[in-house]
């Protein structure tokens, strides 16, 4: 995986937006997997600056709480409209964002896998990481080959969200998430992490053993994973200076 370390969250957002815009320049009808959480908000602010770039993009997303309609401000569907989709030119037929207000999450899971297949797979999947090492809602212990499915969240994961919500928000610990295997099928992964609270899990993800106890360690097996960190999130990496040196010198290879 390529590790890029930026001074702060603002520079991280800028760098991540360059990665997304480079993919869009290459393929205007990109199949783009979105993520929710605090971390990608800065990236979405940057992406909104070029609203026309998204006119042909096919949008998917990682996960959603069970039971919440897209109109509920707590839903991830609402979050993604609020922070990105409503600000950019897009076509309704290209929105494949999950909705939690379905009767049968198993059936929805199968449909998600089918619709990803129907568009030829995800080109670029944006990811955050939970402090417990989850990606999407793939909690520790998730099979590294798992597909989209209903999932029960750990109490700690739910507690992280509840802190940021209206205390009466109707969230439960049932959700739907793309599987680890589904995520690994994306052609390019872009994982973002910011702040000292993520330093321990980033160390495990990048330099620890691959294990389903830390689902994000699967990125070590991905042929094209870009990890953009700020200094605080990178602070505990053993080879931090080496990653910086590699990135700074990347474009000199082959040049005189």
Q: By the criterion CB under 6 A, which residues form the site for ligand PGA?
A: 37-39, 128-130
User: CA–CA separation, 151 vs 135, rounded Å?
Assistant: 12
Look at phi and psi of residue 115 and say left if phi exceeds 0, alpha if psi is from -120 to 50, else beta: alpha
Active site residue 134: yes
Nearer to ligand PGA, 129 or 171 (CB): 129
Nearer to ligand PGA, 70 or 130 (CB): 130
Active site residue 139: yes
Closest CB 77 distance from ligand PGA, rounded Å: 16
Burial code of 46-76, b = ≥16 C-beta within 10 A, e = fewer? bbbeeeebbeebbbbbbbbbbbbebebebbb
Residue 2 is classified by DSSP as E
Closest CB 50 distance from ligand PGA, rounded Å: 23
φ and ψ at 67, to 5 degrees?
Answer: 95, -15
Closest CB 104 distance from ligand PGA, rounded Å: 25
Q: Are 37 and 128 in contact (CB under 8 A)?
A: yes
Candidate list 6, 23, 63, 123, residue with the active-site label: 63
Closest CB 102 distance from ligand PGA, rounded Å: 22
As separate numbers, helices (DSSP H) first and strands (DSSP E) second, the chain gives 9, 10
Strands 149-152 and 174-177: antiparallel
User: CA–CA separation, 69 vs 175, rounded Å?
Assistant: 13
Residue nearest to ligand PGA (CB): 37
Nearer to ligand PGA, 110 or 203 (CB): 203
Candidate list 14, 132, 160, 213, residue with the active-site label: 132
Active site residue 63: yes
Nearer to ligand PGA, 76 or 103 (CB): 76
Distances in Å between the Cα of 118 and the Cα atoms of 69, 113, 121 are 25, 9, 7
Nearer to ligand PGA, 35 or 108 (CB): 35
Candidate list 77, 90, 123, 134, residue with the active-site label: 134
Closest CB 244 distance from ligand PGA, rounded Å: 23
HSE-CB of 19 using CA atoms within 13 angstroms: 26
Catalytic residues: 63, 132, 134, 139
């Amino acid at each position: 995986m390529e590790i890029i370390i930026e001074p702060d969250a603002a520079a991280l957002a800028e760098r991540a937006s360059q990665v997304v815009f480079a993919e869009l320049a290459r393929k205007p009808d990109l199949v783009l997997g979105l993520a929710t959480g605090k971390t990608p908000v800065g990236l979405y602010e940057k992406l909104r600056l070029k609203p026309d770039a998204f006119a042909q993009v096919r949008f998917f997303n990682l996960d959603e709480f069970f039971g919440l309609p897209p109109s509920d401000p707590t839903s991830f569907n609402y979050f993604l409209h609020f922070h990105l989709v409503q600000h950019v030119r897009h076509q309704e037929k290209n929105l494949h964002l999950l909705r939690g207000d379905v009767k049968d999450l198993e059936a929805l899971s199968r449909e998600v896998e089918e619709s990803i297949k129907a568009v030829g797979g995800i080109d670029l999947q944006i990811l955050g990481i939970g402090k417990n090492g989850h990606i999407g809602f793939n909690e520790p212990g998730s099979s590294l080959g798992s597909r989209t499915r209903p999932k029960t969240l750990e109490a700690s994961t739910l507690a992280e969200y509840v802190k940021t919500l209206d205390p009466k928000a109707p969230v439960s610990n049932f959700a739907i998430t793309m599987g680890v295997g589904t995520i690994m099928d994306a052609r390019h992964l872009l994982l973002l992490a910011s702040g000292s609270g993520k330093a321990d899990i980033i160390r495990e993800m990048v330099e620890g053993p691959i294990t389903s106890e830390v689902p994000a360690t699967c990125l070590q097996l991905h042929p094209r994973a870009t990890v953009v960190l700020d200094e605080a999130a990178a602070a505990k990496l053993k080879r931090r200076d080496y990653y910086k040196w590699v990135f700074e010198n990347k474009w000199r290879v082959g040049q005189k």
